[in-house]
Amino acid sequence: MSAESNSTCPVCKTAEVVCGKWTLLLIRDLAEGNARFCELERSLEGISPRTLSLRLRALEEEGVVERHTYPEVPPRVEYALTAKGKALVPLVEDMRRYGMRWLLGDAADARQPAAV
């Protein structure tokens, strides 16, 4: 990996941050109010706890999410988006719009026109 393309390119910089398979889905879930590990695990059905843990840690490192521990029993941990993380929400909204069009078949005419 060494130098992820050009580090002075803004698009590359963002790509580095959101590169993981689950990252943007995770941002979406945090934006929707899911805060706890097990909530995220359930919402992102299919993610392994290891991957979730690694992604959360990486995003925390990058200052995109914050981790709050509550010393209860059993211990509770909550994750939240920082300002830096909230700034990614428009991206998720664009993805939602795009996916919506895709699922509605609006963009499907770009495939084979399928014998109108």
Instruction: Enumerate binding residues for DNA (CB under 7 A).
Output: 1-2, 19-22, 36-39, 46-51, 53-56, 67, 73-78
Name the token pair of 46: 């299919």
d(CA 115, CA 62): 49
Q: Report the nearest approach of its own copies to the CB of residue 93 (Å).
A: 9
Whether the ω angle into residue 71 lies within 30 degrees of 0, i.e. cis, is no
Question: Is residue 113 part of the contact set for its own copies (CB under 8 A)?
Answer: no
Return the number of the residue (35 or 91) whose C-beta is nearest its own copies.
91
The single residue listed with the structure tokens 């097990």 is 38
Return the number of the residue (54 or 76) whose C-beta is nearest its own copies.
54
Question: Is residue 49 part of the contact set for its own copies (CB under 8 A)?
Answer: no
Angle made by CA atoms 23, 48, 89, in degrees to the nearest 5: 20
d(CA 82, CA 65): 5
Q: Report the nearest approach of DNA to the CB of residue 59 (Å).
A: 11
Question: Is residue 91 part of the contact set for its own copies (CB under 8 A)?
Answer: yes
